[in-house]
Amino acid sequence: MKYNDTYESCEYMNKQLRNNIIVLALALFLSFILNAAHILLPFMFGPIIASIICVRYLHLEVNWPFWLSQIGLVLLGVQIGSTFTKEVILDIKDDWFTIVIITVLLLGLALIIAYFFKKIAKVNTETAILSVIPGALSQMLIMAEENKKADIMVVSLTQTSRIIFVVILVPFISYFFKDAQELATGGSEVTAILTEALSIPSIIFLTLAVIIVYVIMGKINFPTKQILAPVLVLICWNLLTGANFTLDNYIIAAAQVIYMIRIGVQIALLLDQMKGRIAVAIAFQNTFLILLAFVMVLIISTFSTHSVNELFLGAAPGGMSQIVIVALETGADVALISSYHIFRIFFILFLIAPAINVFLKHREKKLN
């Protein structure tokens, strides 16, 4: 009996390994094809297309290793952190008013859209509000679990499916409004690549520092530690040493592939759940939130020194990791855009989420 169980377990592991190798090979193949054809975001769309093909059409059971996707996220975090040079940080401190205004207006738009989402999906107010707030998935799910009237399945599906619309709409809008000067400068003055700028001992030191901060953040349940840990370490490194660098192109490409395969698998599985009235409501909510965010930044751009592309990527209601990949491709200011998203995360966690929680509890008591 034990022998059979062990054999079946080995068979399952071998099957999973084979499927992961297939999806990785297809992701790399498609990424290089798209890159050679000069298609937008080849190392983002290649893994997504490969994952959808494997899951939906080849009917492979793909369990992409979580730790591998986390390495991809950490590497993207290193690239984000490397853009926070002393000069950039001094420039960003003058943009805090714009960052706050865009964050507040975006969340205001989300709450307006929640009203229409409620009508289309025929859900209650609690579910609608928790479904539309962008940038704090885990916090919204926790609040949905705690609230007896919120439908956690709808909240979960709506929040997680936003990524489908973000990876389709945001890159194309950004691409058509990218600035020629941004592409020329890459949004940053840093030119030295990691393997040329730093010695092996320095790379080992940075790696250990990121691991230590990552573990500490994990112990205290810090949000988005995969990105914020390397960002924090690299900001300190840049300020203390001045040894600025950027990751080699092949490292950035590899990070995108191993992270976006996981996103592609999630999208493939979500497509099966997008049905009926809820699917229409989700499509309406996410599409209009992205488009209204774009209209908002078009207006704000008339009063700002930053390009429409940078303001839009800063306001885009998506995960920071996906938005940063678009920023890298379009040559936008990664540090500035990351600042918008980092501020939004903390603004939601420490102000908006508690405020919503108080409102929902007050509403529950009033109705009872």
Give the residue-averaged pLDDT of 105-117: 94
pLDDT tier at 361 (50, 70, 90 boundaries)? confident
pLDDT score of 182 more than 60? no
Q: Residue 170's closest CA among 337, 47, 316?
A: 316
Q: Of 158-167, 250-259, 319-328, which has the strongest mean pLDDT?
A: 250-259
pLDDT tier at 286 (50, 70, 90 boundaries)? very high
Considering only residues 291 and 356, tell me which one the structure prediction assigns the higher pLDDT.
291
Considering only residues 31 and 168, tell me which one the structure prediction assigns the higher pLDDT.
31
pLDDT score of 305 more than 80? yes
Write down the pTM of the prediction: 0.82
pLDDT score of 233 more than 60? yes
Helix ranges, 220-333 (H): 225-241, 249-273, 276-300, 308-315, 320-330
Q: Which pLDDT belongs to residue 191?
A: 55
pLDDT tier at 179 (50, 70, 90 boundaries)? low
The distance of Cα 305 from the centroid of its chain, to the nearest Å, equals: 25
Q: Which pLDDT belongs to residue 290?
A: 93
pLDDT score of 311 more than 50? yes
pLDDT score of 275 more than 90? no
pLDDT tier at 188 (50, 70, 90 boundaries)? very low
Give the residue-averaged pLDDT of 125-147: 80
Amino acid making up residue 308: V
DSSP 8-class letter at 246: B
pLDDT score of 349 more than 50? yes
Q: Which pLDDT belongs to residue 180?
A: 52
Residues 6+ apart with CB under 8 A from 142: none
Query: pLDDT tens for residues 10-36?
Result: 777 788 999 999 999 999 999 999 999
Residues 6+ apart with CB under 8 A from 266: 160, 163
Specify which residues 246 forms β-bridges with.
193
Q: Which pLDDT belongs to residue 360?
A: 79
Q: Which pLDDT belongs to residue 8?
A: 65
Q: Which backbone phi and psi does 246 adopt, to 5 degrees?
A: -130, 155
Q: How far apart are CA 315 and CA 87, in angstroms?
A: 23
Query: pLDDT tens for residues 199-231?
Result: 899 999 999 999 999 999 989 877 778 888 999
Query: pLDDT tens for residues 58-81?
Result: 999 999 999 999 999 899 989 988
Reading the block at residue 105, the tokens are 């207006």
Q: Which pLDDT belongs to residue 297?
A: 95
Q: Share the mean pLDDT of the chain.
A: 86
Pair 345, 224: CB distance under 8 Å: yes
Q: Which pLDDT belongs to residue 102?
A: 93
Pair 50, 30: CB distance under 8 Å: yes
pLDDT score of 137 more than 80? no
